[in-house]
Amino acid sequence: MSRIGKKPIEIVSGVEVKVESNTVSVKGAKGNLEFVFRPEVSVKVEDNLVKVERKAKSKLGSSLWGTTSRIIASMIKGVSEGFEKKLELNGVGYRMEVAGKKIKLALGFSHPVEVEIPEGISASIEKNVMIICGIDKQKVGQFATNIRALKPVEPYKGKGFKYVGEIVRRKEGKKASSD
């Protein structure tokens, strides 16, 4: 039994949730999101709560039950508050700037790197911290991961992208022998 799937999802004030056949649409102050759920689960809106129930007692139905519930909860949070990820860039000579719908990065390569900002996501830069904001949790997280993959933090000097608050285990360099 899914403990997550059992919990009803509270609809925040200012958010409207509609269920039509197998599509959940959530409308709020920051925008609209839609999600097509699988036929193994059913979604109902009652009073001020969204309830997700599994139709079949199969392994797939059980696994989709909690997943569908959390996706809908994330959609409600996204259209009311939004999501944000913060990436910190460390390293001498590493720079980043937002130019229109592109992010220009100087990451120590022989060429500058340009990354297109996806639709529905905004990016801003304060000193060496990039703030990625949007209403879709999956898109924000995926874009942050794609940026981080360009220059992941390395364990010897700590250069590269890391999430703000992420702890990077540092390694000791080579020792000089006195023999």
Q: Where are the domains of the chain?
A: 3-80, 83-163
Locus of tokens 């919990």: 7
Q: Tell me whether domains 3-80 and 83-163 share a fold.
A: yes
Q: What is the pLDDT of residue 144?
A: 96
Per-residue pLDDT, 2:
62
What per-residue confidence (pLDDT) applies to 60? Answer: 87
Contact by Cβ (8 Å): 52, 72: yes
Instruction: Grade residue 6 by pLDDT with cuts at 50, 70 and 90.
Output: confident
4 falls in which pLDDT band (50, 70, 90)?
A: confident
50-99 pLDDT, tens digit per residue, is: 999 988 788 888 889 999 999 999 999 999 999 999 999 998 989 999 99
* pLDDT of the residue at 5: 84
Residue 1: pLDDT above 80?
no
> What is the mean predicted confidence (pLDDT) over 38-48?
91
For residue 57, what pLDDT is reported? 83
- CA pseudo-torsion sign 49, 52, 55, 57: negative
Give the whole-number percent of the chain exceeding pLDDT 90.
Answer: 75
Fold of 3-80: Outer Surface Protein A; domain 3 (3.90.930)
Residue 157 has pLDDT above 60, yes or no: yes
The verdict on domain 83-163 having CATH code 3.90.1330.10 is no
Mean confidence (pLDDT) of the chain: 91
State in Å, rounded, how far the first CA of the chain is from the last one: 64
The confidence score (pLDDT) of residue 175 equals 81
Report phi then psi at 100, rounded to 5.
Answer: 70, -120
Cα gap 2→177, rounded to integer Å:
58
- Asked if the model's pLDDT at residue 148 lies above 70, the reply is yes
